[in-house]
Amino acid sequence: MRKTLTYLLFLVKIFVLALLALFVLLYVLLFGRSLDVNVYYSGFAVIGAVAIFLLAWFLPFRKLKKRVFFCGVAVFLAGVIAICACLGYNAYLDSITFVDKSAIDTDLYLAFKADSKIARLKDRAALSFTEADDLPVLDGAAAFFPVYSAFVEAVYPSTIPALNNQDSPYQYHNTISGYDRLTDGKTDILFAFGPDESQLAYAAECGVSFELIPIGREAFVFFTNSKNPVENLSVDEIRAIYSGKITNWKEVGGKDEEILPYQRNEGSGSQTALKEFMGDEPLMDAPTELRNSFMWGIIEAVSDYHNHRGALGFSFRNYAEEIVSNPGVRLLKVNGSEPTLENIQSGAYPVTMPFYMVLRYEEHTKETLAFIDWVLSNEGQSLVEASGFGRI
C-alpha cells in the first residue's frame, strides 16, 4: 500500500511538472509573437527552466536526491520544450509568409507554353507576324510580363527563340535595365510605367527621347500586415506618412506602434509611382533598412509580422494580388475604396495610373506600327483586361 501511494505521488509530481512545462510552451506561443523568436528562444528556455526549477524545488520531496533529480529533469524539459516551441512557431511563420525570391517566375507566364497562366484569345488574332517580318523586340517590367507575353503568343510566330535568347524579340529585364536597353537601341518597345528623372537624363545624354503610348490602367496600392487592424487610409494620410508627418499607427486609428514606411530603389517603377503619388508633398528619405530593391522584398518584409509589425508597403494591384499573392499582407482601401479591377475601371479607386508601350522617338518599322495599332484594338485591350488590368 505504501509503495502504491509513493508511486501515485510520483505520478502526481510528474503531472505537475508536465503542466508547468505546458505553461512554458503556452507562454512562448502567446507572448513570443511580438518578438523575433529566432533571437529570443534561448531566453525563453532559460526563463522557463528557472521557473520550473523553483516550483519543483518546493514540492514536498522527502529526500534531497529526488529533489535534485526532479529539478534537473525540470530544467532539461523546460529548455527542450521552449526551444522546440519557438522553432515550431518559426516554421509556422515561414509557412504562411512564403514569397518567391524573384521579381516574377517567368516560367509561369511564358508564351507558347500549354500550362502558362497568360490570358489567351478565343480565336486567331487579326494580326499575325511571320519569321520573315522585322519583329519588334519587346521588354518590360515584372508587373507587365504576363500581359506582353500574352501579346507575343497572340501575334508572334511560335518559332521565335526562347525568352532572353540573344536573338529573341521576346525579352524580360525589368524596369531599370529595360529603360537602359531601350535607350541603347536593344529594345523596340518597353512595357512599363513612365521613366524617372535619371532615366530621362540618361536618354538625353544619348540623344534619345521617349514616346509613351498608354495601353492600360493599374492601381497603385498600399498594404500592411494582415494582422494590422487598420484597413483604410486616406490619400492625405498616406502622403503624411511618407512625408514623415504621421509616424504612429494610433494617429490613423491603429495601435500605438511606430509606422515603418518602406520604399523602393530609385528608378524602379513603383518608386517612380510613389513620387508621382506624393505630388507636391516632399517624400522623406528612407533609412537603408526600410529601402528594398525588389517589390517582392517589400511584400515579404511587411508579411513578417513578428519582426516588422508596423510596416507599410506599396506595389501594384496585379503584382501584389495575382503574381505574388502573399496571405501575410492585406491591401488597404484608399478613401474607403478597395483596389478592385471594377473600381480601377470605374475610377472609384483614387490611385490609378496608366502604363505604357514606351518607344524611342524615331521612324518606326511597319511591323512596329502594326503591333501598336493591334494592342490598342479591341483584341489587344481584351488581353489587357484578361491579364488583370483596366483598359485605357
| pTM of the full structure | 0.68
Pick the CATH number of 99-392 from 3.30.70.360, 3.40.190.10, 3.20.20.70, 3.30.420.40: 3.40.190.10
Candidates 311, 300, 328, 305; CA nearest to 36 is 305
Nearest 5°: the CA angle 62, 54, 88 is 120
- How are beta strands 232-233 and 138-140 bridged, if at all? unpaired
| pLDDT, tens digit, 9 for 90 and up, residues 291-334 | 775 666 777 778 775 556 788 999 889 888 887 778 888 999 99
All three cell numbers of 86, joined, read 519557438
- How are beta strands 138-140 and 333-334 bridged, if at all? unpaired
Cite the residue boundaries of each domain of the chain with CATH code 3.40.190.10: 99-392
Beta bridge partners of 291: 263
How far CA 28 is from CA of 20, 41, 95, 195, 279, in Å, comes to: 13, 8, 19, 49, 46
Examine the pLDDT at 92 and tell me if it is beyond 60.
Answer: no
Examine the pLDDT at 89 and tell me if it is beyond 60.
Answer: no
- Residue 391 per-residue DSSP state: E
Candidates 14, 21, 32; CA nearest to 87 is 32
The H or E element that residue 51 is part of is helix 37-57
| pLDDT, tens digit, 9 for 90 and up, residues 256-282 | 999 999 898 888 878 888 998 999 999
Per cent of the chain over pLDDT 90 is 54
Nearest 5°: the CA angle 60, 75, 70 is 30
**Per-residue confidence (pLDDT) for residue 290, from 0 to 100:** 78
All three cell numbers of 383, joined, read 488581353
Where do we find the cell 532559460? 46
Q: At what angle do helices 197-205 and 174-183 cross, to 10 degrees?
A: 20
**Per-residue confidence (pLDDT) for residue 297, from 0 to 100:** 72
